[in-house]
Structure 1
Amino acid sequence: MNEPNDALAALILQAGFSWAGLARRVNDLGADDGFALRYDYTSVHRWVKRGERPRSPVPALVAKVLSEKLGRRIRPSDFGMTEEETLAARGLQYADSPRTTIDTIIDLGRADVNRRSIIKAPFVLAALGAPSRDWLLATLDGTATERGPRQVGMKQVAGIRDMFALFQEMDVMRGGGHARTALVEYMNSYVFPLLKRDHEERVQRALYEAAAEQAYLVGWMAYDDGEHGLAQRYLIQSLRLAQASDTAALGAHVLAGMSDQANLLGHPHEALMLTRAGRRGITENDSPACLADLHILEGRALAALGEARAAAAAVAEAERVFARVDHGNEPVWARFIDVSYLFGEAAHCFRDLGQASQIDRFAGESVEGARKQGRARRGALSHAALAIADLERRNVEGAAAKSLTVLDLAASVNSSRCVETVRDLQRRLKPYAEMDEVQRFNARAGELLGLAA
């Protein structure tokens, strides 16, 4: 049995409704929309005392009734009745207003924290085109202004950025499943209430930028945790807030994340489109780190499409741009676009192209950098590339040994990508299942991650 719905009970009391009166008004509004509803006192009793949730469109009708009576906007999520089918659709929309975007992220966060079915919403390929197009057009049409440097003494913005850095560090070191719920609760309890107030333009844009960074990060965490439909919706909303902040590099960074996800899910054409939209929206001076990332992810998409020459050219261009990066002049979100990351992604380009010597070159540098930083997730992904290079040479013993390292690193973080990487190695090693080294790897995978060979 569900918990009583205290929030709904309080709103009904504030509105001065009896339970029977609320039910009658819901039925009347439903009839106006063509619905034959027969709710009564008992129905509302079940909603309040048993926490039952009526089907659509009833939560929206209840919210409308309460809004009329109270003279302010009440949403279904305010009394724990977010209509998840509607929320799943809203999460894919690139809203006209950043305020609408904020409401959508708040509702996504509430559903996420409560483990509602929105976390199972599907990834929708068709939803990728419009947000990237709208962001790019808005960015190209925007006029440059001289607002002066951001005053880092703005306490709220500085505090939000400090929290972003903390959560970003936790994601990189512990995996996307480690602290996502805590970040969502922080955003909904502190960041978004600030954005619902009016501020002078400089502060408003700074708050939109900080909120966009955090919405991106929670989307990335969901992506790393294997919840792709939810991640896609957070990323689209983050892109809209990035536009509101007038920060082109941040918007391009969000498109890079969307591209990474699309490519992982087997949609390289769309991944390529997203990287190119991002590149068109910024210059090398905006953020060399972001531009290098877009080039390397373009290479990933091209490699998945089998375009070896173009992929290699994209990797080379990423290296060229990355040579200009000074992380002291980059935003905090670009901190981990470094050698460990960039060369690790390059290694995966050449993994997809079956070029073992290039895998060795890039993955070797990535592994070394990740080891020095203590980045287990990145180390696992890059060690896996080295294992695959060994398999390309028919060095099964070496591949199995490196796969054991991948496994140990993957077990130390909360990342579905790492788990999928171990599964991929199991599939690749399956033809050699009788070898002692492979059997040790499979036994260990079962012990640490519960993965059957």
Structure 2
Amino acid sequence: MNWSAQAIRDASRAGDYGRVVNLARTAAGVSQKQLGEACGISQSAVSRMESHGTATYNMTLLARAATHLHIPPRLVGLADHTAAHATHVDGTEVERRNFLAGAAAVATAPALAALPAHHGHSGDGQAATLRLATSAFRRMDGSTPSRHLTEPVLAHLRLTQTIASETEHEDQRARLAAVGSEAASLAGWLAWDMGDYGSARTWYGNAIKTARRAADPLLAAYQLGSLAQFEAHAGNAAQGLDLVRAARRQLGDGRPAIAEAWLCTVEALAHAAAGDSGAADTALAGAERSAERIAIEEPPPWPWVFTFSESKVAACRLSCGARLGLPNWVFGAQDAAGAVLSSRHDKQRALLILDVASGHMAAGRLDGAFALATRAVETGLRYRSGRIVERARALRRAYTSATPPKVVRDLDERLHGVYL
């Protein structure tokens, strides 16, 4: 897209940012429905935004659209920041931490510009700013080794805790506790990626306790679901299902569609870990029904930084099929899960590729299985992801022939001597 094109410039100068989005979307070959799914809104909401003219915009949704379409922030009225002097991260660990902290600040800048002015206590603005920094770190996770992110995230958590301890007002402490809960959950996610299950459980437990102190039922349910997801992937089906039930009790019957859709997928993974394909299928059907309602409830409520779509439900079915040894589930869900398989979150994509590899293995297609596994391992080594490497090792252990073919030996050679 030529961002200096006359039509783009004229629309931007006039404040017709919806027109800018329309031109960028059309040039990228993206439909309104696809953009809506990426932004967590309906197709009609995208249409309304594009025809909004020069009226006041919902800057949060505008920022999402701009990010997905790679529109320079200044063209849609958002702050434009550049990360000068930060093109390489080859120095010391301190330099890496400084770079990542700076990168998070750059990532949050457009969203900060969209925040309303606060006329009450300064703690309101502090919590919002810290929350956006957490969101920025979460977005960086897809393309940054967890070992590089851990220290900046823990420093961010310590800062949040320090500010909360010095705050006099109870309502501000509750808001800051919510921010601390999400930062602790992110620390758990990073530990999980590094293969440190003990630390992951500790951080997820802290996230749940802090969310309860914040008196935020949706956040508490989210953190219970996050720990349930971890336990389901670890093979602890009973614990995963208990945590999903606790999350649902926390929310009651009026839970948002995005929460129910996500919890249904976590429940499905736990049933798959227990080897119960029927219960997993029922949970996935519930996820599909709830996913259809998400676009009606726009925008997705915090703490959902990322959108949840029918494509993610399909990706969950694929993962369940891999765990259950059902190649028909794996291959049947591949097309619908295409958006996740082609996402920019490299580590998550590699894990899903390993699930596809498991489907090939269950179908007796060794060449396809181990070729995909070797490709996923390359990503795991690039990001030093213990979770990816261990999943690949688990797939290798499932093949027990004394005379493995070359494609299996290639994976063995790649895994040999790997210490993360």
Which amino acid in 2 is paired with 1:249? L
- Aligned AA for 1:245? A
Of 247, 252, 260, which residue of structure 2 is paired with 1:278? 247
Compared with structure 1, are the counterparts of its residues 247 and 241 closer, same or farther at alpha carbon in structure 2 (3 Å cutoff)?
same
Contact in 2 for aligned 1:433/1:439 (Cα 8 Å):
no
2:320 paired residue among 325, 328, 349: 349
2:348 corresponds to: 378
Aligned position for 2:48: none
Could you tell me which amino acid in structure 1 is paired with residue 194 of structure 2? Answer: D
Give the letter aligned to residue 200 of structure 2: A
Aligned residues: 300
Amino acid at match of 1:292: A
Cα pair distance change 1:340/1:192, threshold 3 Å? farther
Asked whether the equivalents of residues 185 and 207 of structure 2 are also in contact (C-alpha less than 8 Å), the reply is yes
Q: Kindly name which structure, 1 or 2, has the bigger radius of gyration based on alpha carbons.
A: 1
Structure 2: runs of 5 or more not aligned = 1-93, 95-114, 119-123
1:397 pairs with 2:367: yes
1:231-254: CA deviation from partner (whole Å, max 9, x where unpaired) = 222222211221122221111111
Q: 2:208 matched to 1:239?
A: yes
| AA in 1 matched with 2:149 | A
Pick from 217, 230, 248 the counterpart of residue 217 of structure 2: 248
Contact 2:177 2:210 (C-alpha < 8 Å) held by counterparts: yes
Q: Does the residue aligned with 1:394 lie in a helix, a strand or coil? A: coil
Q: How does 1:159-238 map to 2 (within 5 A)?
A: 159-188=129-158, 190-238=159-207
Following superposition of structure 1 onto structure 2, how do residues 288-307 of structure 1 map, counting pairs within 5 Å?
A: 288-307=257-276
Q: Per the alignment, do residues 413 and 337 of structure 1 end up closer, same or farther by CA in structure 2, a change over 3 Å counting? A: farther
Whether contact under 8 Å (1:180, 1:218) holds in the other structure is yes
The reply to whether residue 258 of structure 1 matches residue 218 of structure 2 is no
| Pairing 1:46-445 to 2, within 5 Å after superposition | 153=118, 154-188=124-158, 190-283=159-252, 285-326=254-295, 328-335=299-306, 337-338=308-309, 341-366=312-337, 368-431=338-401, 433-445=403-415
Instruction: Describe the shift of the 1:371–1:387 C-alpha distance in structure 2 as closer, same or farther (beyond 3 A).
Output: closer
Q: 1:226 to 1:450 in 2, by over 3 A?
A: closer
Identical aligned residues as a percent: 22
Q: Is the 8 A contact 1:284 1:321 kept in 2?
A: no
- Whether the 8 Å contact between 1:410 and 1:418 is mirrored in structure 2 is yes
Tell me which amino acid in the other structure corresponds to 2:198: G
TM-score of the aligned structures, taking structure 1 as reference length: 0.61
Mark the CA change 1:412 to 1:370 in structure 2 (over 3 Å): closer, same or farther.
Answer: farther
- TM-score, normalising length: structure 2: 0.65
Q: Distance in 2 between matches of 1:334 and 1:276?
A: 23
Structure 2 match to 1:52: none
- The answer to whether the 8 Å contact 1:174/1:414 transfers is no
CA displacement 1:71-106 (0-9 Å, x = unmatched): xxxxxxxxxxxxxxxxxxxxxxxxxxxxxxxxxxxx
The two structures, once aligned, show a CA RMSD in angstroms of: 2.6
Residues in 2 aligned to 1:194 and 1:348: alpha-carbon distance in whole angstroms: 41
User: What amino acid does structure 2 have at the position aligned with 1:437?
Assistant: V
1:267 CA drift (Å): 2.0
Aligned AA for 1:358? W
Q: Distance in 2 between matches of 1:432 and 1:152?
A: 68
> Does structure 2 conserve the Cα–Cα contact (< 8 Å) formed by 1:205 and 1:246?
yes
175 and 213 in structure 1: CA distance in 2 versus 1, 3 angstrom threshold = same
Q: Kindly tell me: are residues 444 and 203 of structure 1, through their superposed partners in 2, closer, same or farther at Cα, counting changes over 3 Å?
A: same
1:238-273 superposed Cα distances (whole Å, 9 cap, x missing partner): 112211222211111111121122233332111111
Aligned-partner residue type, residue 322 of structure 2: R
Q: CA deviation at 1:180?
A: 1.1
| CA–CA separation in structure 2 for the residues paired with 1:256 and 1:225 | 20
**Structure 1: 4+ residue segments shifted above 6 A:** none
Shift of 1:202: 3.7
Q: Is the 8 A contact 1:306 1:353 kept in 2?
A: yes
Inter-CA distance 211–279: structure 2 relative to 1 (3 Å threshold): same
Deviation digits for residues 411-440 of structure 1 (CA, Å, limit 9, x no counterpart): 232321111111112212342753122222
- The letter of the residue matching 2:325 is G
In structure 2, how many angstroms separate the alpha carbons of the residues matched to 1:430 and 1:336? 40
Change (3 A) 1:325 1:285: farther
Residue 306 (structure 1) shift: 2.2
**1:234 and 1:151 mapped to 2: Cα distance?**
32
Contact 2:188/2:200, CA 8 A, preserved across alignment: yes
Q: Using the alignment, how far apart are the partners of 2:147 and 2:260 within structure 1?
A: 27
Distance 2:273 2:138 in 1: 28
User: More deviation in 349-358 or 339-348?
Assistant: 339-348
Q: Partner of 2:104 in structure 1?
A: none
Structure 1: gaps spanning 5 or more residues: 1-112, 114-149
Equivalent-residue separation in structure 2 for 1:276 and 1:356 (angstroms):
29
